């Protein structure tokens, strides 16, 4: 396992072995945590964190939804993320900030005045769905588990508890020999993968489920929408029926950990010619080009770890 050598925990860096919590921690019992997954990439100008401020904004938004006070401001957390990459001597990395309720008692509602504890770890992590996934694509299935209903737990918050749903979806898929599971929302429309958003390509147009389809509004999803439109491709956010996946010209999944992964087949039905399609390849080139400089970073998405 790749592990972070120095972890930022409640305001200071400490060795991996010292960053511990108590077994009575609230988050361990009730899932009361919010977190982020962020990547830093090697670039010609040094290591850069991709869309750091947007990720930390989403962390604070997730905490706000659950009324969880984070006792640091966003600038402090942003800098701690840069330092976590830098202090661990990393060039490319996966960064995991987590805010959670610690040892505040086992009452469901935490005592008034309780604040979150915060940790940030940075460590090397290769392509989440396997080394070949980016070029070769993956085989996926529709899960028998639905995504959360909007009035049960908000999928727009990236909260620890939500990932029990994701574990059911991805675990079932893997047991049946698929790389990933895709869930329907409670209305039976396509929602998202266990940890990725989805894009269908049909007749040259990109279509992705709207934020009302029980998705996490992914930062990679937003990046792809922006890059595609900037390059003259049409993108629609609209409901997608299950059978539209089977009939897609191309399908790909997006996420920080997974990056951009072509889908070869859904439920054993081959899509297109069963290989990465031309628009998926173009989108990958635009996305990964941000890190080698072949795609201009017009949006200021690269946040350099070392002072420039
Ligand atoms: N949906 C879920 C459920 C996820 O866990 C993730 C990964 N964070 C995504 C979508 C993709 O989001 P992002 O592009 O911001 O990583």
Token match 């690269």: residue?
302
Q: Which ligand 1 atom is at minimum distance from the Cα of 219?
A: 15
pLDDT score for 131: 76
Ligand 1 atom closest to Cα of residue 256: 16
Pairing relationship of beta strands 138-142 and 180-184 according to DSSP bridges: parallel
Average pLDDT over residues 105-124: 97
Name the residue with the closest Cα to ligand 1, atom 7: 195
Task: Indicate whether residue 219 lines ligand 1 (CB < 6 A).
Answer: yes
CA of 36 to the centre of ligand 1 (A): 9
Q: Quick check: do 6-123 and 133-292 share a fold?
A: no
Q: Using N-to-C axis directions, what is the helix angle for 52-65 and 74-87, rounded to 10°?
A: 130
pLDDT at 269 over 70: yes
Atom of ligand 1 nearest to the CA of 215: 1
- SS3 at position 48: strand
Ligand 1 and 192: CB distance under 6 A: yes
Q: Is 155 in the pocket of ligand 1 (CB under 6 A)?
A: no
Residues 6+ apart with CB under 8 A from 228: 206, 235, 283, 286
* Cα 48 to averaged position of ligand 1 atoms, centre (Å): 20
32 lines ligand 1 (CB under 6 A): no
Instruction: Tally the C-alpha atoms within 13 A of residue 275's C-alpha that lie toward its C-beta.
Output: 3
Please tell me the pTM assigned to this model. 0.97
Catalytic residue among 20, 45, 64, 158: 158
Q: Which fold has domain 6-123?
A: D-amino Acid Aminotransferase; Chain A, domain 1 (3.30.470)
pLDDT digits (tens, 9 = 90+) for 8-66: 999 999 999 999 999 999 999 999 999 999 999 999 999 999 999 999 999 999 999 99
Query: Which whole number is the average pLDDT over 260-275?
Result: 95
Q: How far apart are CA 210 and CA 239, in angstroms?
A: 7
Q: What is the mean pLDDT of residues 239-246?
A: 98
- 208 close to 197: Cβ distance less than 8 angstroms: yes
Asked if 202 is an active-site residue, the reply is no
How many angstroms separate the CA atoms of 132 and 171, rounded? 20
| Ligand 1 contacts CB of residue 181 (under 6 A) | no
Residue-wise pLDDT tens digits, 147-195: 999 999 999 999 999 999 999 999 999 999 999 999 999 999 999 999 9
- Total residue length of the chain: 308
The structure tokens listed for 221 are: 């999803």
Q: Are 182 and 141 in contact (CB under 8 A)?
A: yes
Place of tokens 């938004």: 61
C-alpha span between 229 and 236 (Å, rounded)? 10
- From ligand 1's centre to the CA of 137, what distance in Å? 18
User: What spacing in Å lies between the alpha carbon of 192 and ligand 1's midpoint?
Assistant: 9
Q: From the CB of 259, is ligand 1 less than 6 Å away?
A: no
Closest to 120 measured CA to CA, from 86, 143, 154: 86
Q: What is the pLDDT of residue 129?
A: 80
- Hey, what CATH class is 133-292 in? alpha beta
Q: Please give the full DSSP string across 77-92, using - where no structure is assigned.
A: HHHHHHHHHHHTT-SS
84 Cα to the center of ligand 1, angstroms? 21
At how many degrees (to 10) do helices 219-230 and 52-65 cross? 130
Q: How far is the CA of 153 from the centre of ligand 1 (A)?
A: 16
Binned at pLDDT 50, 70 and 90, residue 130 comes out as confident
CA 223 to ligand 1: nearest atom: 14
Q: Would you kindly state where each structural domain of the chain is located, as residue ranges?
A: 6-123, 133-292
Between CA 284 and CA 259 the distance in angstroms is 9
What is the pLDDT, as a whole number, of residue 212?
Answer: 94
* Residue 84: count of CB within 10 angstroms of its CB: 28
CB distance 248 to 201 below 8 Å = yes
Buried (b) or exposed (e) across 244-255, using 16+ Cβ within 10 A? ebbebbbbbbbb
Mean pLDDT in residue range 107-130: 93
Q: Given a cut of 90, is residue 3 above it in pLDDT?
A: no
Instruction: Establish whether residue 220 lines the binding site of ligand 1, counting it when its CB lies within 6 angstroms of any ligand atom.
Output: yes
Cβ(165) – ligand 1 distance below 6 Å: no
């Amino acid at each position: 396992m790749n592990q972070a050598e120095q972890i930022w925990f409640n305001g200071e860096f400490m060795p991996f072995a010292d960053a511990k919590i108590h077994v009575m921690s609230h988050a361990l019992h009730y899932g009361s945590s919010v977190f982020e997954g962020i990547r830093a990439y090697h670039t010609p100008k040094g290591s850069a964190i991709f869309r750091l401020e947007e990720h930390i904004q989403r962390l604070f938004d997730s905490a706000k939804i659950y009324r969880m006070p984070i006792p640091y401001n966003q600038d402090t957390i942003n800098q701690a993320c840069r330092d976590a990459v830098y202090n661990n001597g990393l060039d490319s990395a996966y960064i995991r900030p987590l805010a959670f309720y610690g040892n505040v008692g086992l009452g469901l509602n935490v005592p008034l005045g309780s604040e979150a504890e915060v940790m940030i770890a940075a460590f090397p992590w290769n392509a989440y769905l396997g080394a070949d996934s980016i070029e070769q694509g993956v085989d996926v299935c529709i899960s028998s588990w639905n995504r959360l209903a909007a009035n049960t737990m908000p999928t727009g918050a990236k909260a620890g508890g939500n990932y029990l749903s994701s574990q059911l979806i991805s675990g079932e898929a893997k047991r049946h020999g698929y790389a990933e599971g895709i869930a329907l929302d409670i209305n039976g429309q396509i929602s998202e993968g266990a940890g990725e958003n989805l894009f269908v390509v049909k007749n040259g147009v990109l279509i992705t489920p709207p934020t009302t389809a029980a998705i996490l509004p992914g930062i990679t999803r937003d990046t792809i929408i922006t890059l595609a439109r900037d390059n003259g491709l049409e993108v629609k956010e609209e409901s997608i029926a299950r059978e539209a996946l089977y009939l897609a010209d191309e399908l790909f999944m997006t996420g920080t950990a997974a990056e951009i992964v072509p889908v070869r087949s859904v439920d054993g039905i081959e899509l297109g010619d069963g290989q990465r399609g031309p628009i998926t390849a173009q989108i990958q080139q635009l996305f990964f080009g941000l890190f080698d400089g072949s795609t201009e970073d017009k949006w200021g998405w690269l946040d350099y770890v070392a002072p420039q």
